[in-house]
Amino acid sequence: MQLYNKLSAEERRALIEEAGTERITISFYQYHNIGNPQVLRDHLFLTWNNLEVLGRIYVANEGINAQLSLPAPNFNAFKEHLDSISFLKDIRLNIAREQDNMSFLKLKVKVREKIVADGLNDETFDVTNKGVHVDAKTFNELIEDPDTVLVDMRNHYESEIGHFKNAVTPDVDTFRDSLDIIEEDLSEHKEDKKLVMYCTGGIRCEKASAYYKHKGFKNVYQLEGGIIEYDRQIKEEGLENKFLGKNFVFDHRRGERISEDVIANCHQCGAPCDTHTNCENEACHLLFIQCDDCKAKMDNCCSDECAAISALPYEEQKALRAGKGNSNKIFKKGRSEVLKFKK
């Protein structure tokens, strides 16, 4: 019985190209008390592997967070399987606005302590006591209200390439960093302001809305379905788009364009650019913004040092990495000192 992925990314890429079938990229989440996450994890892997699902799925006692792709012909079978699980029946699926058959190249279903790491150890905090969900139309109305504070619950490298007009965009590396910062900054407005939050697909806002209610905020709202669903609704309903730039996504695409505005800059030359890349040097893999000119000049690397290493034969690169852990640069997205024009 196969319970883990056995193919490399390159092997999977070749199989996808050979199949020639269009794939659909989907994300969804659900907070729910799961008694035995490992049992659910194994069940999901066995079923979804047979449906050729690829992606990154986290299961924990508090629920499930899934970002995945699957062949379009298998969608109905996939949906039927979701509906057979009581707490996932009729769940909203966020369909990617820009499809890419290579958005995911492996199926990874992992048991985690939490589906959204928050650093909290408060047993009195109820993640299901969430704020008010609002659609795109109501969201647009709310954020024009002078008594509203609009907060981006994503990390700095996400909001750098795209965010809503007039949003507070905390300069943080992780979700857990933002919780205390936002509470402290808005502590004087727990009763007199409307706290409106948004994120990529809704999962971080849902936890944050429950957290801020727990901390005494009286009027807490979140954009239902996040930026992904907002983009769908404004286009289908002809609403004004109040989002500037790209929506960062956590797959090989790295971004979906929501508006034509380019609000970021290449981290190497400063030219207008909002395209993320990972440094080609396997020992670095820094995520940063790089324009096409710098990509060609630097061979897809963040520095001359990394370019030199990346140009070495694979076995020499492997020898240099031997015995070393992952570079801390991986976890300081866009923050490396080698980048002259970082935010």
The residues carrying an active-site annotation are 199
Tokens at 189, concatenated: 């407005």
Nearest to 212 by CA among 185, 173, 243: 185
Dihedral sign (CA 40, 42, 48, 50): negative
Question: How many Å apart are CA 71 and CA 173, to the nearest integer?
Answer: 34
Tokens at 296, concatenated: 């060609």
Residue 165, burial from CB neighbour count under 10 angstroms (0-12, 13-18, 19+):
exposed
| Rg of the chain taking only CA atoms, in angstroms | 21
Give me the sheet containing 63-71, strands edge to edge: 94-95, 23-31, 63-71, 54-60, 107-111
**Rounded to 5 degrees, what are φ and ψ at 283?**
-80, -5
Which ranges constitute the DSSP H helices of the chain? 9-19, 37-50, 75-83, 136-142, 156-159, 175-185, 203-214, 226-237, 292-297, 304-310, 314-321
Tokens at 278, concatenated: 């990972």
Tokens at 301, concatenated: 């690397």
Nearest to 33 by CA among 84, 80, 108, 86: 86
Tokens at 199, concatenated: 């994120």
Give the chain's count of helices (H) and strands (E): 11, 14
Q: In whole angstroms, how far apart are CA 29 and each of 155, 182, 258, 334?
A: 19, 24, 22, 27
Give me the sheet containing 220-223, strands edge to edge: 132-134, 220-223, 194-198, 148-152
